[in-house]
Structure formats: structure tokens, C-alpha cells
Chain A
Amino acid sequence: MEAAHAHTPGYGHDDHDAHKPSGIKRWVMSTNHKDIGTMYLWFSFSMFLVGGVMALIIRSELFQPGLQIVQPDFFNSMITYHGLIMVFGAIMPAFVGFANWLIPMQVGAPDMAFPRMNNLSFWLLPPAALLLIVAQFMPGGGAGVGWTLYAPLSTQAGPAMDLTIFAIHILGMSSIMGSINIITTILNMRAPGMTLMKMPLFCWTWLITAYLLVAVMPVLAGAVTMTLTDRHFGTHFFNAAGGGDPVLYQHIFWFFGHPEVYIIAIPAFGVVSQVIPAFSRKPLFGYASMVYATASIAILSFMVWAHHMYTAGMPVEAQLYFMYATVLIAVPTGVKVFNWVATMWRGSLTFETPMLFALGFLFLFTLGGFTGLVLSIVPVDVQLHDTYYVVAHFHYVMVAGALFSAFAGIYFWLPKWTGRMYNETLGKWHFWLSLIFFNVTFFVQHFLGLAGMPRRIPDYALQFAEFNAISSIGAWGFGLAQLLFLYIVIKTITSGEKAPEKPWEGADSLEWTHLPTPAPWHSFETPPVVK
């Protein structure tokens, strides 16, 4: 077992934290799953801030009709990179950070299966992020193509597009390597007695997510490679003049894209499935059905991609198939929501910050699921496609869903990771401010969409003015509330109160029951025995 990290120089199998390399080398050369997890989480948070600034530029421009602050080209670029940075830079790395920190501890392994590949997976991220940021300063500015990078706009965009494509390639490689690591750790390195069906649900959700990633990230890489060769090497994949078809891009993109939304959502399900039982002081209701529901969501997610393309031109039979298949996903999703609620039923509940965020997730993610169902109905979607209704839908599932779940996870595990407690009062403030401002920002966008306001535009008709102003105020409030989160985390790390050995009495996975607080630098030198 120790062989995995035994031959990295300077990392001999020390069982004392004292041996860990100091200074910058500890991070740059790190092969330790906890240090790498920490770096993932900080990287994710800094990208969250960058993407957040872009969002505020967008919302500030939309505060009033007319063009006040930015030019349309720059606005479009903000739309593109806000989406890309939040999806690939903030949300995905955040959950990979959780995976790194938690999976080895939860399955009783000493570290990840391939510690040096783990280091590489992380260190690919900063250059990719840099490419996305530098793209803004290319001649012609950032590519105003939207995060979906649709052809033919993307095949005609300026040089920023090339940087963006390379960034996607690098991010894809990072994700694939990270996923290989996670799958191998979970399948091969579990402690004796830790059968698959005894694993904490978080590990299950990541196992499934990692398979999704290995399956679809290469498809996205293929799609952007085709865009690149269309741009520079005279191929005609998406170029109508040469017999190609821009709609083909949409099919390939969404073949990746719909599983991608579950790549974002499923680890969030995992975190919530750890948090809710802990604060209900009851085991998770319907563990096995949770595993099966997650797996069926993952499988179904490959068969519904064209619900993003109802208006792109499709035979009505295909529309009907994609509509029914999409609606079908609501069944396993409903099973999960039912199980979370049933876990709380007759539990002895307490409402510390992690639980609050998990409950926020539960309510708002479900709402986002409902608007998803509305959108999956073809005749409705023909009306709502590319309006703010879609923007509201996916922010409910991605912000109030995935991001809230990440907050729940941070508050939940921060005491384990740092040995210090966060400030409960400030944590609650962070939750309520986030909850309220989130809804102020995005709830009104449903109305805007229903009234016909298109998405991805810098200016709009006067009748949309009030709701846009409200939404922009909400966005600023939400953004500022996240600075409070940064403050809380820094304060916890530097001067938080010492955390008790087991701060949450209901928590029952190995990292809580078998390891001291704070978790030692190396987890399980000798595997624990799980009964």
C-alpha cells in the first residue's frame, strides 16, 4: 500500500507530520491527497471570484436598458468566460478537491492510487485558467461565442478562440487523469471489509461521476479539436460550404454537455447525502436505492442530449423521444429527493450551517429540477429556449444546487481538515444572505424568460427593466456575501476555536470515526478494519 508514495524523493513513508517538506516545495511537488485537495479548493475559490467579477460586469450592464458600461463584444466575451470559468474552473475543481480530501479517508486508503498523476492533474489547471484569462487580451478581445462554443461563430471568432480551445484541452486532460485516479482508488484501494455497498454515498457518487468524466471529456476534446481544424487546417466538420454542418457541433457538444451537467450535480448529491444524515442523526434512508438512482441518472444522461436542441431542427419523432427520455430522468431524481426527505423524517434535526446549506440545496435544486421538466416539454421549450427562463433553470441547479452543496461540504468538513471550528453565527449569516440574494437574483429571471427576454444580450426592451434591476441588485448582494465566506474560512484557519474530536455527533464515515481531528497528513498507514 505504501508503495504508492514510497519512491517520491523527500516523501519517505514518514508517519509524522514533521517530515513534510516545507515552503513552496510542499505544494508544487505535492503528492499528498490532502494538500492537493486543499490546492484544488483554493484554486476553485479564486476562479469563483474571477467568474463572479465577470457575472457582476454582466449584471451591472443589465441593471438598466441601454448600453452603459461595456460594449456588446466585451459583454459577449464576459458571457462566454463567466460560463467556462464557473463550470470548469470553479464547480468541477471544487468537487475534485472534496474527492481528494475525502475519498482516501472514507475508503480507508493511505492516499490516492497515483499520487504523482494527482499532482499533474492539479497543476494543469492554473495554465488553463491563465489561457482563459489571457484570451481577453487577444486582438479582437475574448471570444463572444458563449460557453457552448457553437459553430459557426466559434469557427469564425478571433485568436482568443484558439486559446480557449487549448484551455479546454488542458482542462479535459486534467479531469480525465483525476477521474482515473479516483476510480482506481475506489475500486482497488478500499480497506479490508469496506465493500462497495458499505462506502459512504459520497464515494459512490464520485465513482459514477468519474466514469462519466472519462466517457465525455474526450468527446468535448474531439468537438473542440474539430473546431480548431476547421479554423486552421481547412477541414469542414462544421462548415456548411464544405459539406459540413454546424448542427453537428451541437449534437457532439451536448452529447458531452448533458452528462456534464450531471458531472456537476452528482458529487453535489454525494455531499448532501453525507450532511443530511449527520444532522438528522439517522442513517441515510434507502442507501441502495440512492446508489441505483445515481447510476440510472448517469446512464440516462447519455440519452437525452438533444433536449438542448429542440429548436435546431429535428424530426418530430426525435423531439418526442428526447422529450420522454428527459422526463424519465425526473424519476430517479425524485427517488433521491424522496430519500433525503425521508432521512430527515423523525430524525433529531439540528440546523448548523452545513445542514442549512444542504436544506437550501434540497429546496432550490428541486425547484431547478421542476423548471428543467418544464423545459423538457417540446412545445413549451420552443417558446422558452434561449430566454432567461433557461438561465434561471440552470442557475437553480448549478448555484443553489452544486455551489450550495459545496458550501455545505466546506462547513461540514472544515473542522476535520483544519482542527478548528468556523464561527457558527457568521456561517448562518453567510447562508441566509446567500439564500436570499440568490433568489432575488434568479427567481425574477423566470418571469423575464416567460415574458420573452432573450439570454446573452447586453441590452433589452423597456418592459424588462424592473426585473432586471432587481436581479442585478441581488447579484451584487450575492457576490458580496461570498466575501463573508472567504473571511469565515480564513478566520477559521488562522484563529478558529479548537474543534472537538467529533464535532458532529451524527457523522459516521471513517474520517470521523477512525481518524483524529485535525486529520493527520497521512491517512491510513495501516488500513483500518471495517466491520
Chain B
Amino acid sequence: MKNERANRRMMTRLSIFAVAMFGFGFALVPFYEKICEVTGINNLIKPAAEVVNTQVDKSRWVTMEFDANAHGLDWDFKPVQRSVRVHPGEMIQVEFDVRNNGSTAIVGQAIPSYGPKHAAPYVKKMECFCFKQQPLQVGEGKRMPVQFILDSTLPADVNTITLSYTFFEVKGAPVAQAKSGGKG
């Protein structure tokens, strides 16, 4: 009998431990976000913290190519310029056109990605439509700017960088009051 009570106590303790570990899995989410924030990893849809070196490196040319996709959205989304040649350190502004061809108003969020991947930290975005969610009414179109500086410490072997945006639908976001960009 004594044994049975001890067994039950142990079962209770272990079950609590298991439930706590289930919670721990979810606790990893904010923990991960915090780590990304503190270490500055993955801040794709936030303005660059600061640009340390604004010295324009006239001796070097880098080709920036632009690409635009809509994921599962009936949106027409394309860059105004396919590519530009830039000097590192130079402030550049380019534009993208987007139009909602679908039959419902939708809030979209654009997510940038870079090729080659390791060039990402050197593209310092000051201003970007990806910092905000973008609500589009049926048939509505917009021209949206991106302003960036290529960091002059960009490794010498990188001569071309592709910046690609993909629009995703933000499910459940009311079209009237789209919020500012995601948590990063």
C-alpha cells in the first residue's frame, strides 16, 4: 500500500514535468526571438540599426538585381528597375509596383531574401515596404520605395546581389488597419 502511494506521487511528479516540458517547447519561441533580436540576426523586416560607414567607395561597382513574387496571392508585383549598378556606401532608392488583381481585399507582408545569402547583412535597408504590412483593396495598386546602402565592408568576391521579395497573405489581419511589420 505504501508503495502504491509512492508510485502515484512519482507519477504525478513526472506528469507535471512532462507538461512543463510541453510549455518549455513554447517558451523557446520568445526565447528565440529575443536571441535573434539581441544578436541582430534575422532583422529582415526592420530598418537597419545604423550605417557605420557612409564613405562611398567609388572604385567598386556592385550589381543589385531585384526580383518580386507573390505567394498564393493574385497580386501583380514587380520591380520598376530589374537591376541597378551601385557603389558601396551610396544611398540608393528603387521602387516596386504592386496591384491586387484578386477579388478580395487582402493584407500582405513582403519578406526579403538575398542571394548570395551571406550578402544579406551588408544590405542596409533604411526604408522598405517590407517594414509594414500592406493592405490592398480590390484593384488597388501602389508604387513602393526601398532605400538602402550597401555596406562598404561587403566581401570583395560579391559582385552581384539579388534582392528578392515575396508577398504573403497575413491571414486574419483587417484590411482597414494594417499594423507595422512583424516581430522579426
Chain A residues whose CB sits within 8 angstroms of the CB of B42 once the complex forms: 245, 247
Known contacts A221-B25, A251-B32; is-contact A3 B183 (Cβ 8 Å): no
CA distance A219 to B26 in the complex (A): 8
Which of B11-60 touch A at CB < 8 Å? Answer: 11, 14-15, 17-19, 21-26, 28-29, 32, 36, 39, 41-42, 45
A315 contacts B7, C-beta separation under 8 Å: no
A236 contacts B182, C-beta separation under 8 Å: yes
Which of A195-225 touch B at CB < 8 Å? Answer: 214-223
- Tell me the dominant secondary structure on chain A's binding face: helix
Could you say which of B82-90, B145-153, B168-176 contacts chain A? B168-176
Residue in B25, B170, B183 whose CB lies within 8 Å of A222: B25
A252 contacts B25, C-beta separation under 8 Å: yes
Interface centre among B15, B18, B109, B172 (most CB of A within 10 A): B18
Known contacts A114-B7, A189-B3; is-contact A221 B170 (Cβ 8 Å): no
Chain A residues whose CB sits within 8 angstroms of the CB of B183 once the complex forms: 243
Residue in chain B with minimal CB distance to A244: B182
Chain A residues whose CB sits within 8 angstroms of the CB of B108 once the complex forms: 241
B32 contacts A188, C-beta separation under 8 Å: no
B14 contacts A214, C-beta separation under 8 Å: yes
Which of A116-161 touch B at CB < 8 Å? Answer: 117
Known contacts A241-B111, A251-B32; is-contact A218 B19 (Cβ 8 Å): yes
A221 contacts B22, C-beta separation under 8 Å: yes
Judge whether B157 is part of the interface by a CB distance below 8 angstroms.
no
Chain B residues whose CB sits within 8 angstroms of the CB of A251 once the complex forms: 28, 32
CA distance A135 to B1 in the complex (A): 46
Judge whether B158 is part of the interface by a CB distance below 8 angstroms.
no
A223 contacts B25, C-beta separation under 8 Å: yes
A180 contacts B117, C-beta separation under 8 Å: no
Residue in chain B with minimal CB distance to A216: B21
CA distance A464 to B178 in the complex (A): 52
B24 contacts A219, C-beta separation under 8 Å: yes
Judge whether B181 is part of the interface by a CB distance below 8 angstroms.
yes
Judge whether A239 is part of the interface by a CB distance below 8 angstroms.
yes
A255 contacts B7, C-beta separation under 8 Å: no
CA distance A219 to B17 in the complex (A): 12
A1 contacts B32, C-beta separation under 8 Å: no
Residue in A180, A222, A243, A245 whose CB lies within 8 Å of B14: A180
CA distance A437 to B182 in the complex (A): 52
Residue in chain B with minimal CB distance to A219: B25
Known contacts A214-B18, A216-B21, A248-B29; is-contact A313 B7 (Cβ 8 Å): no
Kindly provide the distance from the CB of B133 to the nearest chain A CB, expressed in whole angstroms. Answer: 9
B172 contacts A183, C-beta separation under 8 Å: no
Show 24 residue pairs from A and B whose CB-CB distance is below 8 angstroms, ordered by the A residue. A4-B7, A117-B11, A180-B15, A184-B7, A214-B17, A217-B21, A219-B22, A219-B25, A219-B28, A221-B25, A222-B23, A226-B25, A234-B171, A239-B168, A240-B182, A241-B108, A241-B109, A241-B168, A241-B170, A243-B182, A245-B32, A247-B42, A255-B25, A315-B41
Where the two chains meet, the residues of B that have a C-beta atom closer than 8 Å to any C-beta of A are 1, 3-4, 6-7, 10-11, 14-15, 17-19, 21-26, 28-29, 32, 36, 39, 41-42, 45, 71, 108-109, 111, 117, 167-172, 181-184
